[in-house]
Amino acid sequence: MNLLDLPVGFDDPIAALLGFHRRIERQLAILGQLPGNLEARGIDAHSTADAAAILDFFSGPLAIHHADEEALMPILEMRIASAAERDEARALRHRLESEHREMDRTWRGLRRPLEGIAEGMHRNLPADLVQYFRACQSTHISLEEAGLHRTATRCLLASDRAALERGMHARRMRKYRFQ
């Protein structure tokens, strides 16, 4: 984990959050290839390196990304003027938060075999669980990009953006300090 999961000097926390989705997709693509690579080639340097990179990413920066989003959503709700839209935003927040928990649960099932593979041991990495994790992540990303971006662009104040940016930096500094 390092500070590199945010662009240096980023000045738009929403763009930084959504930009992070591209990194998630890259890691998901590597994860998606791993069961096939293991089946074809067994454990080799490539697979162990991929498993280690996936572990680093999904155990660290992703959890912080979820925390960033969970800080953003209540602020968005507060800024929406129409009661009906606010209710919609609240329902979306509940769904996204529950998906974060579901993805965390699924990740726990993948972490153990990946740790073994990263250490060069033969472990069964369940392809169906990998597929499920990838599908959850990609549906979730689409939902966030459709539901959060537009509202954030329209409703957030400059002071909200500044507060979000401070929170995002603080979460990363905290993680960095305690490593």
Residues at the contact surface with Fe ion, assessed by CB under 5 A: 69, 144
Q: How far is CA 129 from CA 13, 26, 41, 59, in A?
A: 32, 18, 20, 17
Contact between 148 and 70 (Cβ < 8 Å): no
> What are residue 157's phi and psi, to 5 degrees?
-90, 165
Least gap, CB of 137 to Fe ion (angstroms): 9
Residue among 16 and 51 whose Cβ is closer to Fe ion: 16
Q: List Cβ neighbours of 106 (8 Å cut-off, separation of 6 or more).
A: 129, 132, 133, 136
Residue nearer to Fe ion on the CB measure, 63 or 127: 63
Continuous H helices in the chain: 13-41, 45-59, 61-79, 83-118, 127-147, 149-155, 158-177
Q: Fill in the amino acid letter for 146.
A: A
- Please, which residue, 29 or 49, has the CB nearer to Fe ion? 29
Q: Which is nearer to Fe ion, 98 or 124 (CB)?
A: 98
Q: Could you tell me the smallest distance in angstroms from the CB atom of residue 174 to Fe ion?
A: 20
* DSSP H or E segment with residue 157: none
> What is the nearest approach in angstroms of Fe ion to the Cβ of residue 153?
16
Q: How far is the CB of 70 from Fe ion (least distance, A)?
A: 8
Nearest CB to Fe ion, comparing residues 140 and 175? 140
As a whole number of angstroms, the distance between CA 124 and CA 127 comes to 9
Q: How far is the CB of 32 from Fe ion (least distance, A)?
A: 18
